[in-house]
């Protein structure tokens, strides 16, 4: 019995390790701002971006402020350019795990506007600010995506500082939405579950509740091709989630391109499903 228990524990540890290996690593770096006395606001923007990536759950997240002084300096020296071999070696010697992506940004504007009552008396302040963040491939310096965030307070706050801080906190949902656009959920096609006249009708993908997949979500099916060492993604079809089957899988209806999806799947070509960002109210309103 003890041997079985030990074996199960080892299997769980191995499965956890494999699950962790699947996740790419995102380093959230510094948020810059040239305005006087802006350090705390820039730090709060940084913290909100860290929280958003953690809540999204698709990546392992490294906060630059949690690294050793040596690790911070190496990353900052590298900036947004490619991480060369010498710097990777220095990072490893410093005990720092290498990141796949680095997030940097700029706090471009912030303000607190007085809110007045009917008598013209100031009763509080409304905060607002704008910041930009971008995601760069740390290994080759290419840009993955960029997002421009504008946020404000919903209700007035007693002080200017509190109003601006509240506006920063209110930015988190917008940051998460932008992250989803930059890093859409992707999934392998596990099985063609139904076909008709040489076309796939339903299929199973490896993406479920753990990634936030819901009934009604739509994915585009892409084929990956390589030309002169460069990857090209070609959309070959579309699918819609019929049923989420636990944390890891979902059953989907093929909406478009069933013949090509079936042919590529049977031909063992490299195809995958990529979620299309949701629009409008969610869940969708039934008409």
Domain ranges of the chain: 25-182, 186-276
Residue 168 burial by CB count (10 A; 0-12/13-18/19+): exposed, middle or buried? buried
User: What pLDDT is stored for residue 21 in this prediction?
Assistant: 44
Say which residue, 88 or 199, is predicted with more confidence: 199
Say which residue, 155 or 91, is predicted with more confidence: 155
Rounded to whole angstroms, how far apart are CA atoms 263 and 249? 22
Instruction: Assign domain 25-182 one CATH number from 3.40.50, 3.10.50, 1.10.540, 3.20.20.
Output: 3.40.50
> In this predicted structure, which of 84-98, 155-169, 218-232 has the lowest mean pLDDT?
84-98
Say which residue, 224 or 215, is predicted with more confidence: 215
Helix, strand, coil percentages, rounded to 5, for the chain:
35, 40, 30
**What is the secondary structure of 249-275 as a DSSP string?**
EEEEEEEE-HHHHHHHHHTT--EEEEE
Rounded to whole angstroms, how far apart are CA atoms 222 and 271? 5
User: What pLDDT is stored for residue 83 in this prediction?
Assistant: 59
Neighbouring residues of 40: CB distance < 8 A, sequence distance ≥ 6? none
**CB-based burial, 245-270: b 16+ in 10 Å, e otherwise:** eeebbbbbbbeebbebbbbbbeeeee
User: What pLDDT is stored for residue 228 in this prediction?
Assistant: 80
Band of pLDDT at residue 96, cut at 50, 70 and 90: low
- pLDDT above 70 as % of the chain: 82
Tens of pLDDT, residues 172-213: 999 998 998 898 888 999 999 999 999 999 999 999 988 889
Rounded to whole angstroms, how far apart are CA atoms 115 and 155? 10
pLDDT at 261 over 90: yes
Rounded to whole angstroms, how far apart are CA atoms 275 and 220? 6
CATH of domain 186-276: 2.40.10.410
Confirm if 285 and 278 have CB atoms less than 8 A apart.
no
Per-residue pLDDT, averaged over 205-222, amounts to 92
User: What pLDDT is stored for residue 287 in this prediction?
Assistant: 42
Tens of pLDDT, residues 17-54: 444 445 788 889 889 998 888 899 999 999 999 999 99
> In this predicted structure, which of 64-78, 138-152, 197-211, 238-252 has the lowest mean pLDDT?
64-78
Per-residue pLDDT, averaged over 224-248, amounts to 89
Q: Tell me which residue of 203, 278, 270, 185 sits closest to 241, measured CA to CA.
A: 203
User: What pLDDT is stored for residue 51 in this prediction?
Assistant: 94
CA distances (Å), origin 279, targets 57, 154, 169, 217: 21, 23, 23, 10
User: What pLDDT is stored for residue 68 in this prediction?
Assistant: 80
User: What pLDDT is stored for residue 138 in this prediction?
Assistant: 75
Per-residue pLDDT, averaged over 240-246, amounts to 96
Per-residue pLDDT, averaged over 123-151, amounts to 89
User: What pLDDT is stored for residue 69 in this prediction?
Assistant: 82
- The reported pTM is 0.70
Rounded to whole angstroms, how far apart are CA atoms 206 and 189? 6
- pLDDT above 90 as % of the chain: 49
User: What pLDDT is stored for residue 80 in this prediction?
Assistant: 53
């Amino acid at each position: 019995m003890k041997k079985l228990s030990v074996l199960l524990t080892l299997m769980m540890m191995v499965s956890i390790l494999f699950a962790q290996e699947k996740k790419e690593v995102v380093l959230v770096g510094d948020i810059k701002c040239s305005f006087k006395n802006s350090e705390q606001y820039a730090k709060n923007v940084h913290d909100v971006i860290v929280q958003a990536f953690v809540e999204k759950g698709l990546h392992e997240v490294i906060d630059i402020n949690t690294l050793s002084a040596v690790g911070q300096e190496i990353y900052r020296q590298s900036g947004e350019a490619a991480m060369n071999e010498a710097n990777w070696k220095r990072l490893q010697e410093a005990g720092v795990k290498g990141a796949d992506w680095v997030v940097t940004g700029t706090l471009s504007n912030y303000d607190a506007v007085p809110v007045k009552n009917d008598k013209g008396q100031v009763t509080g302040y409304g905060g607002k600010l704008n910041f930009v963040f971008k995601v760069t491939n740390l290994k080759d310096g290419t840009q993955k995506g960029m997002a421009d965030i504008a946020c404000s307070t919903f209700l007035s706050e007693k002080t200017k500082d509190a109003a601006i801080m509240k506006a920063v906190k209110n930015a988190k949902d917008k940051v998460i939405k932008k992250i989803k656009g930059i890093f859409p959920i992707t999934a392998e096609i596990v099985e063609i579950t139904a076909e008709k006249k040489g076309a796939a009708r339903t299929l199973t993908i490896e993406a479920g509740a753990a990634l936030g997949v819901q009934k009604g979500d739509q994915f585009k099916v892409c084929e990956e091709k390589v030309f002169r060492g460069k990857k090209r993604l070609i959309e070959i079809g579309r699918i819609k989630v019929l049923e989420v089957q636990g944390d890891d899988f979902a059953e989907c209806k093929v909406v478009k391109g069933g013949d090509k999806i079936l042919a590529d799947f049977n031909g063992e070509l490299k195809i995958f499903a990529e979620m299309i960002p949701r629009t409008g109210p969610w869940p969708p309103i039934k008409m």
